[in-house]
Structure 1
């Protein structure tokens, strides 16, 4: 059986978009296996994700032929063969729970990606419990007066490794506006709080002081505005007055792992489309 292809698109809403896309695929003998769509009444934008069997059609040829429809409807679109895996770079600092979880899910085949590199501002010896076999590890230390040089080295590594997606797996460094702009729509962060509340440092301690009854975590795209990027996924867990800040941190680690893993998997499967300051996520 021919490997299914995935078409994602967004464009100004108008009548006939679904008909044009369906007719395009039908005329080329393609069979639609799954289709999801959304009309945003607030922005007037239309979003669609279609998985189809190409029946022997060449993906490059389909892209070239689809260009006429895409131009006519002012589409932002991709047509991708899922067997061509995204190259993902994971950035981390001292906390290793999200890093370890992503590597584990990658090793068992749950996350269909190629890890282009793991980058940390701490040396590899910081992570004695993690097996980096088959993974390139890069130590890029950073200080206040070396931040620009470190980011230049990081950007060069992103380019030289052909990285498609960057994941901040508890990378406790704020990206500069310049690097954030270069990675627009390609960089996913896990914030250890339920945004938009409790931004910045020590959010679990902030939550404890406020006596919250729920804690959460948020996976979002990185922008130049700290913790303000389009949200991809969130989750929460109930707590009580008996929980200390350490209890919140412990419970929060579990939330962070599953939220980041879900967000990354959806991005790898082309389920996340940008919608201004928000996202449209076609979950499975």
Structure 2
């Protein structure tokens, strides 16, 4: 039975130790909750780490606080008694990936960050995500002796900016795993390809970067983003990707994307055939966005009983 121990807790954070059954061997893996998470004893990575037989520490934030209520000294005071003198890895995704980078140096951890992002960081923030920042810049906090591994899609603007302007100034030797067109949720894409347990276990256990042969044909998000990148320069190739996106994941979004591209490129007959096909599928969720509905009506397309109207 897993042993739980609260290492630290406040209104802003909770840090919980999980010890699996069996010998307590290295590594110790510290994981961090992402943006939608809140105070909890376990979360991102906890089950995976315990399944590998690793001791793990979960660091939770008060919802939407972006870890600004947890300073470096409090973090180190909580986890140092467990990790000092041991092989330790900090691991997170998105906001959790940022946290792995920010806190990892203070315990000299190896760091694995997937699509790291601090939503309130001025170069990428939006009014909805902006909160007062009390963290120091990443390049001013203690640096781990090991070069971190960052897994990301370089075509996602905010992730690329984070890597170029936040991570590289702090860690010029960062080891980058680039997965173009797989989006911000790169770990989900790796998991969907069935590669996450093997890839991540090797990386965390032995610090070994295995080759990632990521299949693309069955990944609807990859086809969407690939099509978007080609829409202007190679519209016919982009059309193939948008068709595949719709075939793999019929939805309001994929229908609207494909129809909009057909209208843009003058494929009105194909656009009407698509609408007829969507109608025959009988899925009430296959409705066009209001914007594309207006464009379709203006182009003379018959929407039949689609049920979507423009405003």
| TM-score where L is the length of structure 1 | 0.35
Rg larger in structure: 2
Q: Which structure has the highest strand share of the two?
A: 1
| TM-score where L is the length of structure 2 | 0.33
